[in-house]
Amino acid sequence: MKFSSSLLAILLAPGANAFAPIRHAGVIQRSEPATSTSLWDTPSGPPYSGPSSKPILDSVNYPHDMKRLDMKELKQLAHELRWELIEAVSKTGGHFSSSLGVIELTVALHYVFDMPEDDIIWDVAHQCYPHKMLTGRRHKFPTLRQLGGISGFCKRKESEYDSFGAGHSSTSISAAQGMSVAKSMLNKRRNNCIAVIGDGAITGGMAYEAMNNAGYLSSRMIVVLNDNGQVSLPTGTQTAGGVRPASQLSAYTSNLIVSKPFQDFRDFAKSLNRLFPENVQDVNKRIDEYARGLVTGGTIFEELGFFYVGPIDGHDLENMVPILEKLRDSDSSKPVLLHIKTTKGYGYPPAMAASDRMHGVGKFDIATGIQVKGKAASPSLTSIFANALIDAATDDRAVVGITAAMPGGTGMDIFGRRFPKRTFDVGIAEQHAVTFAAGMACEGLKPFCCIYSTFMQRGYDQVVHDVAIQNLPVRMILDRAGVVGNDGPTHHGCYDLAYLGCIPNLTIMSPSDELELKNMVMTCAAFNDGPTVLRYPRGVGYGVEKLQSLFGYEFENGEIPAKGTPIEIGKGRIIRRPGGVRALSEHSPTNGSKSSRMGAASRGLLKEHRVAILSLGTRLSEALIAADDAEAADKDIAVTVADARFMKPLDEDLIRELADENGIIITVEEGSIGGFGDHVLHFLALDGALDDGDLKFRPMVLPDTYFEAATQYEQYEMAGLNSHHIMENILRLVRKGVSSKKVEVPELVEIEQ
């Protein structure tokens, strides 16, 4: 439908009702269900509970089922959908409050637009649960983020209604623009592409690159800016910028909301003239001048070539639906930015009251919002890192911490409580974070740039160009290295050893346990001769008992040292000698220079029966278990287990020793092909250790595939990196007790639930 001056006159007529309930032709009238409740019936205090039945939601399996609903029923659908979400996530855990905040927006978008012909792209997509429930996947929510279940993010292969896959931020506008241009070039009948992006994700530079290009090309698209004031996770961490959201753009959009009342449909209609062809603009010039007087001044989005609409209440269906309909029906090719204000966690008081708005939760009690959490035997590695960094910062005022909108996930919230003026949250801006750290290093500070392994991929050029080439002492701390569990392939930290290992000047280390993590934080703080990388996985420490019984530590007073100590760069250590002797209790040199046959008795009399496992990272515990099991399975086998500690530089003396004294070397790592094992193999080949043909080498790495959501154990089981896989590899290589066939990696369906 085309807009005209006559349409505007109708919309602006004194008797016009911009808020009349919307109905489609052929609507089937229904009475309001007797059991229905409205959002504002939610009790103000616990216990909280939802409707006993959901008749409107039960009638909606796919978006086309919504087209028959009137406004009253749409509101009831939103209410039922909100409580369906609360009930579902309370049983599985997952990303929670982001989805609660977009219930009304999701209903409005699916009511107005026609997916899958129209495209709706959810940035990051942790707010996509209501979308999934309305697109045929409501019955699958008991499997959310589980092995063989539905993903917590949008995935194109999961549903035709997932227009674009996501997990990382700031990609939606680029994808929507690409789809819009393609639809236009292919002369498709409809061209409606909608990107939904939050005020956190829009801080990412890629979003601005896309908006700049969309305005330049006049790409027909709608960008919905979901402004909820939650930029970082969690927002409110104490940093050098205070406790406000880590984004000046967030402050800018907040000022827009404060300085302008929420637009309703009537106000929006007055400003529609800016979307019209020039001849229509001339006819309606006076109306346009009046409309621009209501929305004073331009916006940064208008300067980028967008038609700005807003701010509007993102929980008000009566306004959002007609505005979206008019934008849908416009013939204009000018990109539109629809600015909506929402509340993260809306409709569930415990979420609205929580400091993190219950962004990511485990199972919880609906009545109270209290999460069901077992008591961890040991603290998380993230908290251990944060407290070790506090120790380093206490000793050295030059130590500072940097995060890219993930203070909670990286431990910077803990660090920030102790050193707020030395904590910097740059927003979702990994590229900026790395170069920002490089600038700090130039002036003599010791920056710890703390970014998830998967997100450091976004700052790769800066690592090379701004840090490594200049050999600046930036400390890059990569949390979530290896597989991460339920977040799936977009969040695994599988590739950093491969993509960083090829860069000159980097020192790369990975701890095997919590004490080593403390030691390596201190090592990074003390090392000022170039950039360092410290990677560690998601998880918790082993605790005193396991460190002593499995690893062989001997702690004074039976306690893990409270503070770490620097270790020698590029030096590994032998942890286990043949016969089960734990080398750490022998007070042997760091590089394990004692004979690896010590304690072997009659084991390993033949070199081909002597095996060395060289581990990097926390698979060391699995390697130690595998060594014990392999020796228990065969009295001739002698297994040495070493902890490499460093990938760059390699401990060449240790590797030579292991190659000289063993017939088999197995490397184990929590990374993809091209990482630690390849570096060891490259060294052995150039060093001539493989020339005589009496040394077998096997790298054990994450297979060349993507691992979907599952527990970390299940993912390592699929990867073939648990202790029994390592043991099977040992037995196969010495040709004892098993056939010579390759170790089979189990299929998803073969793993016990």
Q: What whole-number distance in Å separates Cα of residue 161 and Cα of residue 110?
A: 10
Contact assessment for residue 637 and residue 611, using Cβ atoms and an 8 Å cutoff = yes
Q: At what angle do helices 285-294 and 5-12 cross, to 10 degrees?
A: 50
Other C-beta atoms lying within 10 Å of the C-beta of residue 724: 14
Bridge partners of residue 573, in order along the sequence: 643
Which residue in 137, 138, 344, 577 is the catalytic one? Answer: 344
Greatest pairwise CA separation for the chain in angstroms: 100
Do the bridges between strand 399-403 and strand 423-425 make them parallel or antiparallel, or are there none, so unpaired? parallel
> For this structure, is 155 an active site residue?
no
Bond before 47 cis per omega within 30 degrees: yes
430 among known catalytic residues: yes
Residue 747 CA to residue 465 CA, distance in Å, equals: 41
Helix 514-526 and helix 381-395, axial crossing angle in degrees, nearest 10: 30
Distance of CA 407 to CAs 207, 245, 302, 540, Å? 22, 12, 32, 18
Cα dihedral 389/392/398/404 (nearest 10): -10
Polymer length in residues for the chain? 753
Whether the CA torsion 276, 281, 286, 289 is positive or negative: it is positive
Q: Quick one: tokens of 143?
A: 């499997």
Which stretches does DSSP call E strand in 330-474? 336-341, 360-361, 399-403, 423-425, 446-452
Residue tagged active-site, from 80, 84, 430, 514: 430
Determine the 3-state secondary structure of 386 from DSSP.
helix
DSSP per residue, 47-68: SP---S--HHHHT-SSGGGGGG
Question: Which sign does the torsion angle of CA 724, 725, 729, 730 carry?
Answer: negative
CB-based contact 627:678 (threshold 8 Å): no
Q: Which member of 54, 458, 576, 603 is catalytic?
A: 458
- String of DSSP letters for 76-124: HHHHHHHHHHHHHHHHH-EE-HHHHTTHHHHHHHHHHS-TTTSEEEESS
Q: Taking a C-beta distance cutoff of 8 angstroms, is the pair 544, 560 a contact?
A: yes
Task: Please identify every residue annotated as catalytic.
Answer: 344, 430, 458
